[in-house]
Amino acid sequence: MSIAFDDRLARAQAVLSTAEARVSGLTGGIRRPVETGSLPVPSALASVLAGLRPGSSVAVTGSTSLLLALAGAAMGEESWCAVIGMPHLGLGAVADLGVDPARLALLPDPGASISQLVSAMIDGVDVVVIGSAVSDQLWRAAISRARAQDTLLLAADPPGRADLRISADHVRWRGLRRGSGRLRHHDVAVAVTNRGLPSGRVDITLPSVSGAMVVSPLTTAASAPASSAPSRSKRPALSIVRSA
């Protein structure tokens, strides 16, 4: 066994041990059971998405900002969130997108231990975000485990099926004026597909990586809500609007 492989294995084991310690702490007293009902979504998506069901799987393509905004809204005021496989994600950007860093387990580079880490996080927290590429086998196992644990599973363009698919198509960037300034916001068209059936489309504004989080509807296509689950009484829908 090479020294390089030994070092990599040691790092992976250290990451896994840290994650297991964090999960043990969460399940020991911080985590609260998810209630029956739906988790809130950003208010800009309310016309096409009534809520996210605990235990469901959601595939998000085209926008990391949208993926994290969904996670931040679903966390509410009590739940914890784990983000796995996003090595370039900073805490500042996470906070701007509505994710509370005080209730966040950030595992940027899971490496060979990704299967164990995904399982541990699904068992330990209420919202899990997978940003790195995963195998079809791992994705199927994660869906099954999340359903059993009532954990919301969000992923960036995962393989295979998902209960809900949300895609964001770039429309335009805004911020430059007369050749000066910075690109601060970009408009995207968001389409929601519920179990293979189109549920609606809405245009929203998302910030640049360095901008404050602003989610506001531009135009809305009439559609039915993507979730029929009732609203949760203890976690009202969040409105993610932060001043620049």
pLDDT in tens, the chain (244 residues): 455 545 555 555 565 565 555 445 444 433 444 455 799 998 888 888 989 999 999 999 998 889 999 999 999 999 999 999 999 888 887 887 888 999 999 999 999 999 999 999 999 999 999 998 899 999 999 999 999 999 999 999 999 899 999 999 876 666 555 555 555 567 888 999 987 777 788 888 876 444 433 445 444 443 333 343 433 434 344 343 443 4
- Could you tell me if residue 12 is inside a domain? yes
> What pLDDT does residue 96 have?
78
Return all residues near 177 (Cβ < 8 A) that are at least 6 apart: none
> What pLDDT does residue 210 have?
41
Q: Which domain holds residue 10?
A: 3-163
Query: How many C-beta atoms surround the C-beta of residue 231 within 10 A?
Result: 14
Return all residues near 207 (Cβ < 8 A) that are at least 6 apart: 65, 96, 184, 185, 186, 213, 214
- Could you tell me if residue 224 is inside a domain? no
Domain count of the fold of the chain: 1
> What pLDDT does residue 187 have?
80
Query: How many C-beta atoms surround the C-beta of residue 130 within 10 A?
Result: 28
Q: Are strands 152-156 and 127-130 parallel, antiparallel or unpaired?
A: parallel
- Could you tell me if residue 61 is inside a domain? yes
d(CA 47, CA 183): 27
Locate tokens 């995207």: which residue? 188
- Could you tell me if residue 197 is inside a domain? no
Q: What is the pTM of this model?
A: 0.71
CA distances from 191 to 41, 90, 112, 201, 220 (A): 14, 27, 33, 4, 11
Q: Let me know if 88 is exposed, middle or buried by CB neighbors in 10 A (0-12, 13-18, 19+).
A: exposed
Q: What is the CA radius of gyration of the chain?
A: 18
Domain with residue 93: its CATH number is: 3.40.50.300
